[in-house]
Each structure stands twice: as structure tokens, then as C-alpha cells.
Structure 1
Amino acid sequence: MDMRPFTISNALTHAFWTPSPRGSLLVFAAAYVAGSMAMQLVGLFTQSEVYALYLRAFVDGGGDFTPYLDDLEDVSGQSNLASLLLMPLGFLVWVVFEGASQRRYIRWEGFRLRLGADEGRLAVVGLIWFALIMGASIAGVIAIFVSFGIGALIGGITAGSGLALVATLVFGAGMVWVFARLSPASALTIRDQNIRFFEAWSATKVCATPLFLSYLALAAMITILYFAAMFVMLVMAILLLGPAATGDGANAGTILAAIGQPGFWVPMGIALIALSFAGAVITHVFAGPAALAAKTDPNWIGEEGVPGAFS
């Protein structure tokens, strides 16, 4: 199969015409859903005391949280600390799935989770991303406050707010551009079997604009799909809980009792699993433009044994 040039349409569909063993994408999605659910269960366990207090306030207190504020403050600190300790686990999950995803794109491999040299190099790439995002966040906050201050000095609060809004939009667009230019870092690292990050900037020099537009298009599609899915889930919940919420003697207890019935959580659970599968596929699709940029990098001449120049 000839390597397709980098265009917006090719970037958006790269996940679906990349050669790989049959069913690789479905296996990836299934494992991703299982991993995500496991992480959510761990997170639920670490926050269980907080949820228990909210449930007591909702059922026993009729939604009045005032008597529970002191207890909530005590358990929140402990739960948040436990959640912070889970961050390395979440990072590890990202590393192994990123490696599996990029190996499919770059080496045409089937899906396989593992911890090896690829994952070690990707961990370094992830840490660079983390540092870059943290630095950009701090710089963005400073830029917004400075813009607001300058505008307020010149024309008052309204002018300051307007200038801060402009600064936010400009800074956000700039960061999306930078993200797009550096997005092939993981793909380049897998391709070259060496840590590559800032080399992505030169690799995307030729395809910078279509790459940027590809990510804007993906972000727009994901946003639309997300709100559509949330609307469907909301309608389902309303239809399933309608009798318990509107019937005679309806209260928080009857609603909670209805939520605990298979007639509610089975269809909602199936819908959530389907939504998680869609999210897993989207996660892989989102990495497609960056992988295509790495494979069409004009600075790369290909390597024997790694589908050559992909032709």
C-alpha cells in the first residue's frame, strides 16, 4: 500500500486504513475500557467516604449539607491525598496504551500491552509534556492577569475584562498550535526507538497547517459527540427514573431505590460501556494525525524492518 500524503482527510481517517492484524482496534478498545473501569473503581474506593457523606446529606438531610461540612472537610483531605497517590498509576496506564497505539500506527503491529524500552522512552516524553503543560498554564495565568491589569489601567474593569478575554483566546489558540506541532513526539519516539520530543517541531514544518486544522476538526467532532451522548444518557435517566421521581410519595429515597434496581442500572451500564468503547476508539483516532505526520516526515528516509518508507 502506498503511503498517503498528509492531508486533513487522510489524517482524520488514518486509524481506519492503517494495516494491522484483524480486530486490533477492537481489542485495544476492550482493554482500554477495562483499564478505565479499573481506574474508576480505584478512584471510587479512594473517594468512598466523601460519596458516603454526600449520600447521607442527600437522603437523611434532604440535601442540606450544613451539618456535614466539618466531616466533609476532614475526609476530603484524606481522599484527595489518596487520589494524588494514584497519579503515577494513571501515568503508567497512559504510557502502556500510548505505546500500544503508536506501535499499531508506526510498525503495523497488533495490539499488545507491555512494559519495555518503548514504554520507558514514552515515560520521558510524557514527563516533558507534563512540564510543558504546567509551564504553559503558569504563563497563561500570568498573561491573563497582566492583560487585565493593563486594560483596567487604561479603560477600567470592562476594558480589562475584554483584554483578558482576548489574551485568553490568543494564548489558547497559540497553545493548540504548539500542541499540534509537537504532537508527533510519541510517534517519533516509537519510530526511531529513541527519545524524540522537540524534533517533532521540524517534522511538522511542512504539514503544520493541515495538522493544526485536523486537531481542530477532531476537537469539534468530539465535543459534538460528547454532548450528544450526554443528552441521550440524560433522556434515558429521565425515562427510567420518571415514575420514581414523579409518582405519589416521590422523594430522594424512592429515587435512590429506583437507581438500585436492575431496570435502571443495567440499561445505563450498557450505555456507559458502549460510550466507553466509543471513547477508546476516539482516543486512538486522536493519535492518528500525529502518527501520519511522523510517517510523512520529510527528514526521515525510512528504516529496514519497520515497513521501510511505508510504501
Structure 2
Amino acid sequence: MAHDHHHHSHNGDKNLSVSIVLNIGITVAQIVGGIISGSLSLISDALHNFSDVISLFLSLAAHRLAKRKASAMRTFGFKRAELLAAFINASTLVIVAFYLIYESVVRFSEPVVIESGLVIWMSLIGILFNGFSAVLIREEARQSINMKSAYLHLFTDMMASVAVLAGGLLMKYYQIFWVDSVITFAIAVYLIIMGFGLLKSSTKMLMLFTPENLNIDAIAESVHKVTGENKLYHIHLWHLNDNELHFEAHLDCTQDMSVSQFNALADEIEELLRHEFNITHCTIQPEFEKACQKDFIVEE
């Protein structure tokens, strides 16, 4: 498993680096093409591509930081770096989208003649390069919210290029130049929808919220089948990163058990949490006849 994880990490670095080079090329080409042709949708696509370059740099840096070992000053290392990168990348998706909406409304009121032939060729380049980049990191995107944020940037930009291509064809053969603004607006709405979902997920992880697919009451009920009359309280459950789920709680013991007895009980609890709820790290604090509030969740 360790070798497989290392293999995925190495591929992730390599594939992100290739995607960065490709997107720098696309951005430069589309900016030049957009200025020459007068196409707002092509320039908006270039703007999104530029945000791709920034997001990919950020994802690459976070991906490498996350592999650094923990230290006395950083006991968790940089494992949450990828969550932070995903949050920033999702934020840029939404910000760019609102800017594109503004620009599309302005241009719709004052449509201009656009060199559609150049728009078509530039959008084709965007589809090929972004599509190839998205395929490169698709596998890693299934395992990391950071890589997923980078993948969404690339995938949505590929779809944007498809929309720009469709607009270029309509402008070339039907002289419908206002479609450039409409397509830009549609791209922006799509970015907001995709970006907001990722922003919501990364924010919840950064705020240490309980994962939506897990229920504290259900977990406690399962653990109590092992602990019997010894009950959990002061429970906390959170994502350290995509792959590590941490659980901590106090255990109100009805008997003054020995350390070895508690160790045996703790091993059973950890085994149950790992197999039934995929919880990777568990901390249980035993207590006996301690006077305090013993609800599952307590405001501290």
C-alpha cells in the first residue's frame, strides 16, 4: 500500500507539471487570439486558463508539502495543505465566474464583429490541451480533494472551449455575434455551480465538521456494543485530510479498571471504528467517577 501511495504521489507531481506547461501555452495563445479576433468568450476562456495555471501551481505545491514529515513544531506536518489548496482553487473558480458574468452583460449590450475562424482554431487547441491535462490527473482526482479541484479547473475549461467552439461556428456560418456573450454567461454559471460544491466541501473539512456520511449517534451506538456500560462522551470526529479520519472521545468507565484492561478495550474500539466507519486514527480517554457533563457533544 505504501509503495502504491508513493507511486500515485510521483505520478501526481509529474502529471500536474505537464498540465501546467500545457496551460501556460493555451493561455498565451488564447489571449493573443482573443485580442486579434475581438472574441470575449476566447479571452474569458484564456482568463480561466490563467486561473488554471495558478491553481495547478498551488495544487502541485500543496501535493509536495503534504508529503513532508511531521516535526516537533508541526506535529501534523503539512497534511492539511491540500485542503487549503482546494479551498483557494474553488474560491478562484467562483470569483472568475462572477467577473465573466459582468463582462458578458456589458458585451451583450454592445456586440461586436468577431473573427470567428481564429476563435474556432483557438478553441480546438483548448479542447485538446485541457482534455489531455484532465485525463492525466483524473485518477489522482478520485483520491484527493486538492487534485479534484485542479481536475475541475481543467475539465470545466475543456467544456468552456467546447462552448466557445460552438459559438465560433454559429458566428462563422450564421453571423450570430451576440452568442459570444451568451456562451460566456453560460460558462460562468457552470463554474459557479461546480466551484461552490467544492468550496462547500473544503470549507467543512477545514472547519473540522463531522463528515456528512457519518452519524455520531450511530457510531456511539456501535461502540457501546463493545464497551457495555462504559459510555462515550465529548466526541469529536473530523477529517485531517482526504485520507485520514480522526476520532476522539472520553470513556466513562463504571469500574476502576487497570491500564492493561483498558488497552484491550481500546483495541476493540479502534478495530470496530476502522472496519465499520473507516476511521484511521482513534484517541480514547478513560475516566472513572469524574463529575462533569457527559453529553456526546459538549460546548467547550
TM-score of the two chains, using structure 1 as the length reference: 0.23
Higher helix proportion (structure 1 or 2): 1
- Structure with higher Rg: it is 2
Structure of higher RCO (CA pairs closer than 8 Å, 6+ residues apart) = 1
TM-score of the two chains, using structure 2 as the length reference: 0.23
Higher strand proportion (structure 1 or 2): 2
